[in-house]
Amino acid sequence: MSKEINLVWFRNDLRAGDNPALFYAAEQGTAIGIYLETEEQRKAHDDAACKIGFINDNVKELRKQLNQLNIPLHSFKVTDYADSVEKLEMLVDQFNAKGVYFNNEYPLNEKNRDNQAEKILEEKGLEVKRFDGDIIIPPNSVATGKGEPYKVFTPYKKAWIEFHKTQGTSPLPIPEKQDFKIDEQHDYDFAQEYRDDLWPAGEQAAKEKLNDFLPKAGYYRERRDIPSVKGTSMLSPYLAVGAISAKQCISSLLEWHEGDEEAFYKDTWLSEIIWREFYRQIIIDNPEISKHKVFKRDAKEVWDGEQELFDLWSQGKTGFPLIDAAMRQLLQTGWMHNRLRMNVAMFLNKLCLIDWRQGEAFFMRHLIDGDFASNNGGWQWCSSTGADGAPYFRIMSPNTQSQRFDPEGKFIRKLVPELESLSDKDIHCPSSEQREKLGYPQPIIDYKEARKRALDLLS
């Protein structure tokens, strides 16, 4: 007797390992993979061309991986989320499927799309199964003593760890090879350019990146703030498209700690993965964030800076070497170091008084790891409007940060070559004459004045 067909609707979970929707669909019957590229929705969400290109290649790598298990993967172009639900309905009929399996996505548009798909498919008599593959502990697993969602990271992290101890860390394996003959597979190619030398696509490549990083995990705490050093994992693009799961990452981290749970739960890198979980829980609890609202309802929003400042910031022409180096890193690679993301965000928002939402959208349009929850969380943290955000008076000084985290100007020299010849001291803040001689812009703001203005407005 032939097994029932279940469609697996892939979205930001482009992997075969630790993929609950795929695993259980295959366990229950014959799995057929579907990927729907929503062109218009991507524009509406400001997704970067480099991220779209990376997704395209990850879909192709996933197809290769699945085909070895006799699981086909059909990819199609649709316009928006409403269209993707209609397409799914058609595919269900075409494949005579009994069920549709997928892993939840948490931003509001995606949640609405999924609820709509579930309703329509269930009305057609299909079995719809939803899983949580993008988060390690299921949504709403932890709450404060009053039963409310956490708004502050440290107690959230503590509760997260306690919950996690009861849950275990084993990721799901890849499904067993199925008995199915693949005929033709529909392929929609939406290739775009991205730095595939830095981020080769696929789950295998993601695992190799993780394995390169783990031996250095012991130095993460001391190196993670130095942009000239490869001190962080650079796994964010893979996590954003789901080529690797956060659970797979931390299970390897526990192995690296040789199963020593005490050391594992104290690990700084684990803490960063928990920040990712925290921001996901924040958008689950606060759907209005997906509609561009601030988390802290009483936060002051005083953003009336000149648009020209935004334009110069976005081109890496602020006259502040560290800020310009950071923005050029983003424009050239699609990625920016975390310390620099904080610096450029505070610079734009607090010192230039530009609405953080403009910076948030610019980041999405250029980041290969663009992720709504983490990006919004990061921007609202920096602008002091977010959950457990920086206090309003915390404004990073670009020159002090530059001296502290790039003391010899190694990072600046690489990204702002016109300053290469300057001494380690001068490179952080060249004199007016040096700027003129080297063709480097004068500072677009006076730091001290801008800082004072921000403090007056925000206090």
Ligand X SMILES: Cc1cc2nc3c(=O)[nH]c(=O)nc-3n(C[C@H](O)[C@H](O)[C@H](O)COP(=O)(O)OP(=O)(O)OC[C@H]3O[C@@H](n4cnc5c(N)ncnc54)[C@H](O)[C@@H]3O)c2cc1C
Contact between 16 and ligand X by CB under 6 A: the answer reads no
Contact between 295 and ligand X by CB under 6 A: the answer reads no
Q: Shortest Cβ distance from residue 370 to ligand X (Å)?
A: 5
**Of the residues 74, 164, 224, 357, which one makes contact with ligand X according to CB under 6 A:** 224
Q: How many CA atoms lie within 13 A of 448 on its CB side?
A: 0
| Three-point CA angle 159, 164, 170, nearest 5° | 165
CB 316 within 8 A of CB 444: no
18, two tokens = 């630790």
CB 366 within 8 A of CB 334: yes
Q: Integer distance in angstroms from the first to the last C-alpha of the chain? A: 71
Contact between 378 and ligand X by CB under 6 A: the answer reads yes
Is 356 among the catalytic positions? yes
CB-wise, 24 or 381, nearer to ligand X? 381
248, two tokens = 């797979």
d(CA 306, CA 303): 9
Contact between 240 and ligand X by CB under 6 A: the answer reads yes
Which residue's beta carbon is nearest to the bound ligand X?
378
Contact between 358 and ligand X by CB under 6 A: the answer reads no
CB 50 within 8 A of CB 366: yes
Contact between 267 and ligand X by CB under 6 A: the answer reads no
Is 275 among the catalytic positions? yes
Segment lying near ligand X (by CB under 6 A), choices 101-109, 234-242, 320-328, 451-459: 234-242
**Of the residues 75, 169, 228, 236, which one makes contact with ligand X according to CB under 6 A:** 236
Q: Could you say which of 67, 112, 286, 338 is catalytic?
A: 338
CB-wise, 86 or 272, nearer to ligand X? 272
Contact between 361 and ligand X by CB under 6 A: the answer reads no
According to CB under 6 A, which residues from 306 to 345 bind ligand X? 338, 341-342, 345
318, two tokens = 């602020």
User: For 148-156, which contacts have Cβ atoms below 8 Å and span 24 or more sequence positions?
Assistant: 149/281, 149/285, 150/278, 150/281, 151/282, 151/387, 151/388, 152/387, 152/388, 153/274, 153/275, 153/278, 153/387, 153/388, 154/388, 156/274, 156/278, 156/281
Is 379 among the catalytic positions? yes
Contact between 347 and ligand X by CB under 6 A: the answer reads no
| CB-CB neighbours of 71 under 10 Å | 25
Contact between 199 and ligand X by CB under 6 A: the answer reads no
In sequence order, which residues have a C-beta less than 8 Å from that of residue 233 and are 6 or more positions away? 209, 210, 213, 249, 269
According to CB under 6 A, which residues from 62 to 101 bind ligand X? none
**Of the residues 114, 134, 371, 388, which one makes contact with ligand X according to CB under 6 A:** 371
Contact between 374 and ligand X by CB under 6 A: the answer reads yes
Contact between 29 and ligand X by CB under 6 A: the answer reads no
In the complex, the residues that contact ligand X under the rule CB under 6 A are: 224, 232-236, 239-240, 272-273, 275-276, 279, 338, 341-342, 345, 363, 367, 369-371, 374-375, 377-379, 382
Which sequence positions are flagged as catalytic?
272, 275, 303, 338, 356, 379
